């Protein structure tokens, strides 16, 4: 008679344990949209400032993005990653083929990138891009979209593996749990005293510990997280501003508008209007 054995170890002494890296940020992507146009016209949009990341690749040259006075060409030999909340201009002086992905990365990273990242094309990225473009040009179906999702996710993982910068910071498990709680229920009570009790620390010690690992006070982090989530909701949903304020822990629309304007540079109504007018891909 055979004996059923339970093997519960997730790691071995000889492998590389990647669980901590995966939990510390940039491990997964929420993909909002992908698209391809073989000859895009009029691709000129100033001050694009959406709250999600972009992946750009042009199979033919001629277009570029402008950021901080710098022009970054979109060429067949590179892909460009544009971090969330990075203001830039789309510049399309010529008709050109254009492939894009709009996505959100894990929100637990300490690093807030504000500069576009240029990734050199290689023998892994190129066939994935070819597959993605081919799927876009095929007949629309649920199966096509399922395949496209996996190819696009693979593209993002490969592109991020080529970035020569530390994009995330490993965080203690209790802190990861707190950050997850903040992002999953941003309308909750996240006072210093409550958060400190959840990790079994005194308030002063907790604030020092939190700042050491995130670079921010707990209050600043909570407010920043709420505003980032509100930006996404303004850009990607039709919820009213009052609904968004309530959903993300702001007591009323007026207070939400003041905090939002202080962090973003304009009020939520103006920000939403910009997203609808500036349809940069």
CA atoms within 13 A on the CB side of 20: 10
CA angle 257, 259, 263 (to 5 degrees): 115
Phi and psi at residue 193, to the nearest 5°: -65, -40
Instruction: Output the CA torsion 147→150→153→155 (10° steps).
Output: -70
Phi and psi at residue 79, to the nearest 5°: -120, 155
* Domain regions of the chain by residue span: 26-161, 173-277
Facing residues of 103 across strands?
31, 53
Domain 26-161 class?
mainly beta
pTM of the shown model: 0.77
Q: What is the topology classification, in CATH, of domain 173-277?
A: Arc Repressor Mutant, subunit A (1.10.10)
Average pLDDT estimate for 126-143: 95
CA–CA distance, 94 with 178 (Å, rounded to integer): 48
With H, G, I as helix, E, B as strand and everything else as coil, classify residue 55.
strand
Q: What is the pLDDT of residues 184-223, one digit of tens each?
A: 899 999 999 999 999 999 999 999 999 998 889 999 999 9
Q: Which residue has the tokens 């010690």?
A: 205
Q: What is the pLDDT of residues 219-276, one digit of tens each?
A: 999 999 999 899 889 988 889 999 999 999 999 999 999 999 999 888 999 988 877 6
Q: Quickly state the pLDDT bin for 169 (edges 50, 70, 90).
A: low
């Amino acid at each position: 008679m055979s004996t059923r054995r339970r093997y519960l170890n997730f790691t071995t002494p000889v492998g590389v344990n990647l669980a901590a890296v995966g939990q510390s940020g940039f491990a997964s992507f929420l993909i909002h949209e992908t698209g391809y146009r073989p000859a895009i016209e009029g691709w000129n949009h100033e001050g694009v400032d959406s709250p999600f990341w972009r992946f750009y690749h042009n199979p033919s040259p001629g277009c570029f993005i402008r950021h901080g006075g710098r022009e970054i060409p979109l060429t067949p030999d590179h892909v460009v990653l544009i971090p969330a909340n990075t203001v830039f201009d789309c510049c399309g002086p010529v008709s050109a083929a254009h492939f894009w992905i709009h996505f959100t990365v894990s929100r637990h990273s300490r690093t807030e990138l504000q500069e576009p990242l240029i990734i050199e094309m290689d023998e892994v990225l190129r066939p994935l891009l070819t597959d993605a473009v081919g799927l876009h040009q095929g007949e629309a179906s649920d199966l096509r979209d399922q395949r496209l999702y996996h190819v696009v996710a693979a593209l993002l993982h490969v592109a991020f593996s080529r970035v020569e910068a530390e994009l995330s910071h490993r965080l203690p498990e209790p802190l990861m749990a707190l950050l997850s709680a903040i992002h999953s229920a941003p309308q909750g009570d996240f006072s210093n005293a409550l958060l400190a009790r959840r990790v079994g620390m005194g308030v002063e010690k907790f604030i020092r510990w939190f700042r050491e690992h995130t670079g921010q006070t707990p209050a600043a982090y909570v407010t920043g997280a709420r505003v980032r989530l509100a930006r996404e909701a303004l850009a990607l949903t039709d919820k009213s501003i009052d609904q968004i304020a309530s959903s993300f822990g702001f007591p009323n629309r007026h207070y939400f508008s003041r905090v939002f304007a202080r962090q973003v540079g304009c009020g939520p109504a103006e920000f939403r209007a910009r997203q609808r007018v500036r349809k940069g891909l």
